[in-house]
Structure 1
Amino acid sequence: MAKKSSRTTTDQRKVGRRHPLASVALIVIGLLSTGGVYALATTSATADTSASQQQLVEEGGKLFAANCASCHGLALEGTDVGPTLIGVGEASVHFQVSTGRMPLAASGPQAEEKPVQFTEDQIEALYTYVGAQSPGPGLPDEETIAGEGDAALGGELFRINCAMCHNVAGAGGALTQGKFAPSLSGVTSTHVYEAMVTGPQNMPVFNNNNLTLEDKADIITYLQFLDENPSPGGFDLGNLGPVSEGLFIWIFGLGAIVAITVWLTAKSN
């Protein structure tokens, strides 16, 4: 009887034992299920993104036709009164429109900053439309404009590449024929980056072969440092350098000497 019971238990174990490939099959089924769910979710998200992008492009096209095409052409080809926008990219459109320089109020030596004419959503639609028609420089990533670069190296790069127009402290300066380099005080890091990569007005283009992304991040960090740290020497006199400082000394310094001299002479008489 004991032998029979033992044989019965062994038979039951054989009957209940899983096939060696059962675990492999379960893993494959699990992977396929997970992959299928992920693919469906990704496809759905991609479809939503594409639909949203297309909606932005359509809205931007309407805004462009109503506000920009008369100067830049319906196909971005440019006209006698406005340059082509083919290849300018999203960065250029965002810079020009979000600083109020465009639409242009009146012709002149250069477009000047003025109150913005569009909402943020409309600006996004405009630069998305132009970028979709012809690719070009895009908006900066957060890492580049975060202000976490090397401020000392950024100051050196700024003095070499930018100070001849914008002044060593970013105060701006006059150029020829009524043109000028604007002050960089208070300018957002996004606009500084966009100006470097698109070269608005009289500014040259600094692509990644001229200044790497790290170089641009360092320059932006330097300008942020200037904004956050006022002049330690007292009145900065507009940060215009020796001209304003010399004028201050000439008017107030020599003026004080002359006044004291006159007072001493009058007293002695």
Structure 2
Amino acid sequence: MLQIIRIEWLKVKSYRTFWILLLLAVAIIPAANYIGAEINSEIRDKAKDLIPLSTYDFPLIWQTMASVNSYMTALFGFPLLILVTNEFTYKTHRQNVIDGWERREFVLAKLFWWLALGVLALLISMLFAVILGLAYGTHAFSLEDSRYMFYYFLQVEVSLAIALLIAMLVRRAGLAIVLYLAYTMMIEQVLVVTIKRYVGEVGGLLPLQAGDELLPFPIVGKLMSSANRFDDGVYLLMLLVYIALMIFLVFRRMLKTDY
């Protein structure tokens, strides 16, 4: 596995497009939350009596950042889409096999990036949660409610799994990006609204929506009724099922189709 990781590193270390896309995905997390913290601070200064709690104070900040960041999970899918589709565009996946790789090892190499990008999103989010919590909050550091960061991590991994599956199925960068954007930004939302309207809360069990159900904004989440939603454990289970299913489909696609 270490040899696979080393080869993957050699592929991307001078790949400018990958690093630009990754930098944008990483930079948006502190930027968006810094703006949110500034706005929250200004509002509280003007209405302390009406808003006794700061959403950027411990322990609420874990949920706040996870909720805000959940709107930007798709950004981490673009570097993965580019990496995978380039393998097929430039036929490097064939060269890997010629060099002695098994198809399974090719998939494992892409799963390394799938996991690495998710871990990176989690670490950046947790780091800036601590920084902003200490800078804008009045409470001492606390890991209470940090489970929301785990929920966010799973949502990122589901989004990345969707990107990986689309890249494996389509194999062309332009079309893969369009399909990924269409699904994450529009198609699933239309399905969620339609299914919730005509079927019920089962619409909340779709891949990305299941993560959103676990990550309501703190104040909004307290105002919303829990009568029309499933238990958190159901959404958590669905995220894990989607991840397992999409990884299975990625392996099946690579192992059962011609190059």
Q: Shared fold (TM-score greater than 0.5)?
A: no
Q: Which has the higher helix share?
A: 2
TM-score normalised to structure 1 length: 0.24
TM-score normalised to structure 2 length: 0.25
